[in-house]
Amino acid sequence: MNEISYLKRIFQAYYKQKKHEIPLVNLFNQREFGFIPWDKMVMIRHKHFNESEDFKNYLINNPPKHVYSSGTLYNNPGNPNMNEKGFLGCDFLIDIDVDHFFTPCKNYHDLWYCKDCDKSGKGMPPNKCPKCGKNKFQSISWICQDCLNVAKNEILKLVNDFLIPDFGIEENELKISFSGHRGYHLKIANEKIRTLSSSERREIVDYLTGDNISYDILGLDDLSSDLGLLDQNIGWSQKIIIRIKYLLRNYTNDVLVEILRQEKFGLNTEIIEYILNNKESFLKTLWNVKGLGFKTWHNFLEGIIKEVGAEIDKPVSIDIHRLIRYPGSLHGKTGFKVQQLSLKELEDFNPLDEKNHDIDPIIYFSEDENLKEYKVIEKVIPAIKIKGETFGPYKKDEIITIPHHIAVFLLCKEVVKMI
């Protein structure tokens, strides 16, 4: 039995065993479904199920590598012609995935290799190879508790700082899921938002991320003005104030230097030192700080805005025909479950070491000591810590003995083979 046949068989066993536990999304029969099979990475779209029983039987009889359903509602979701589906509206979808932004831990566990020479490195691939100048890379995107915490905190920030206070979204309208890999999905099931066009959704995205923010509206268009940022202002003005005060009051100078050195702030060493020496002036005025020009102040604000804004995959939220992973399905790159979560469950959720069995996405975990051998087929496999135990790093051609849940993860990652 080869690796694909094995994974397909154990995914099938999961769907058969957990058939009655797979949740039913709201307005189920108005949604389009999509599947990616194991034998080819081409999505089978425009599937429609009137009954949840038919959907679950499909998963058992045709166990896929990935399972999706639409955020969009249609009169005829199974019609392959998009213009004839009968668009009824679309939930607002948000995807937060650490693939799309930098986290410090990537410099330790993500790897890249140039396909045209032997150059390799850690972290996110460069724009071009520093050795040969080409831009074709093979990369390994890994996960750890740190980067998954960053993704979780982005969702919490989005909900608690934007969606609930600024948009009045009710908690019962928030459908949150761990994606099963490197992030979280959020679906907002709100009747008014469902009617929005792509361009109107783009405006919401700009607000959530801080893109295209207007300094005029914030009262920051004139250095001679005494208006500036006021505590009683709401929305982005208030968010900027809170973040500046938090940075200056809660971090030591050493940590502040590391933060302000980031490219997004655009500040040189001399300006950073000046800010550190004039913290009290900042906290007192938050505007028109003596010694800082307009351009420097704007650079500082740009960095603060990027700190405050949410890191979301913008095209996902703008698209009104997007599919998103189905809760309760399995992710074909990890073998982990796409785990649906309440806002309260999310706060303490740890996908790599979850203590609550009811929401644990690692469904193949077993304490059985019957370990099996596998051969490493990737140049390097970074270390992975799951259920409190670290496995790896491993090198190519190494024969490793690992428990079932680690084997499923590495087989899904296509970095080991069965022997």
Residue 289, pLDDT score: 62
Whether the per-residue pLDDT at 325 is higher than 60: the answer is yes
Name which residue leads in pLDDT, 81 or 102: 81
- What backbone phi and psi angles, to 5 degrees, belong to 391? -125, 130
Tell me the pLDDT band of 226, cut-offs 50, 70 and 90: very low
Whether the per-residue pLDDT at 224 is higher than 70: the answer is no
301 and 217 fall within a common domain:
yes
Cα–Cα distance for residue pair 227/224, rounded to 1 Å: 9
Do the domain assignments include residue 333? Answer: yes
The arithmetic mean of pLDDT across residues 1-27, rounded, is 96
86 and 178 fall within a common domain:
yes
DSSP state for residue 162 in the 8-state scheme = I
379 and 353 fall within a common domain:
no
Whether the per-residue pLDDT at 225 is higher than 70: the answer is no
236 and 301 fall within a common domain:
yes
Can you give the CATH number for the domain in which 409 is found? 3.40.5
Model confidence over 291-319: pLDDT tens digits? 677 788 888 888 999 999 999 999 999 99
Name which residue leads in pLDDT, 371 or 391: 391
Whether the per-residue pLDDT at 227 is higher than 50: the answer is no
The arithmetic mean of pLDDT across residues 25-44, rounded, is 95
332 and 300 fall within a common domain:
no
Residue 376, pLDDT score: 98
Residue 296, pLDDT score: 83
Whether the per-residue pLDDT at 366 is higher than 90: the answer is no
379 and 235 fall within a common domain:
no
Do the domain assignments include residue 18? Answer: yes
273 and 401 fall within a common domain:
no
Residues in the chain: 419
Q: For residue 259, how many other CB atoms are within 10 A of its CB?
A: 14
User: If residue 386 lies in a helix (H) or strand (E), which one and from where to where?
Assistant: strand 384-386
123 and 199 fall within a common domain:
no
Nearest to 204 by CA among 93, 99, 104, 128: 93
271 and 391 fall within a common domain:
no
Tell me the pLDDT band of 9, cut-offs 50, 70 and 90: very high
Tell me the pLDDT band of 287, cut-offs 50, 70 and 90: low
Task: Give the pTM.
Answer: 0.91
The arithmetic mean of pLDDT across residues 80-109, rounded, is 93
Do the domain assignments include residue 162? Answer: no
Residue 290, pLDDT score: 67
Residue type, 176: I
Residue range(s) defining the domain that contains residue 300: 213-308
Whether the per-residue pLDDT at 215 is higher than 90: the answer is no
Can you give the CATH number for the domain in which 297 is found? 1.10.8
Cα–Cα distance for residue pair 276/247, rounded to 1 Å: 11
Residue 299, pLDDT score: 86
- Burial-class residue 260 by CB neighbours within 10 Å (0-12, 13-18, 19+): buried
Q: How high is the mean pLDDT of the chain? A: 92
Do the domain assignments include residue 267? Answer: yes
Residue 123 backbone class (left: φ over 0; alpha: ψ -120 to 50; beta: rest): left
Do the domain assignments include residue 159? Answer: no
Residue 28, pLDDT score: 97
User: Which residues, including other chains, have CB under 8 Å from residue 258's CB and lie 6 or more apart?
Assistant: none
Nearest to 409 by CA among 301, 300, 296, 332: 332
Q: For residue 355, how many other CB atoms are within 10 A of its CB?
A: 9
Using DSSP's 3-state secondary structure scheme, residue 170 falls into coil
Q: For residue 387, how many other CB atoms are within 10 A of its CB?
A: 14
Whether the per-residue pLDDT at 231 is higher than 70: the answer is no
Of 16-25, 148-157, 178-187, 271-280, least confident by mean pLDDT is 271-280
Residue 336, pLDDT score: 98
Do the domain assignments include residue 231? Answer: yes
Name which residue leads in pLDDT, 219 or 45: 45
Report the domain count for the chain.
Answer: 4
User: Which residues, including other chains, have CB under 8 Å from residue 407's CB and lie 6 or more apart?
Assistant: 372, 374, 416
Using DSSP's 3-state secondary structure scheme, residue 157 falls into helix
Residue 288, pLDDT score: 58
265 and 301 fall within a common domain:
yes
Of 16-20, 195-199, 226-230, 405-409, least confident by mean pLDDT is 226-230
Do the domain assignments include residue 156? Answer: no
Whether the per-residue pLDDT at 229 is higher than 60: the answer is no
Cα–Cα distance for residue pair 37/62, rounded to 1 Å: 8
3-state helix, strand, coil in the chain (%, to 5): 40, 20, 40
Tell me the pLDDT band of 263, cut-offs 50, 70 and 90: confident
- What backbone phi and psi angles, to 5 degrees, belong to 183? 180, -160
Residue 239's DSSP bridge partners are none
217 and 195 fall within a common domain:
no
281 and 186 fall within a common domain:
no
Do the domain assignments include residue 55? Answer: yes
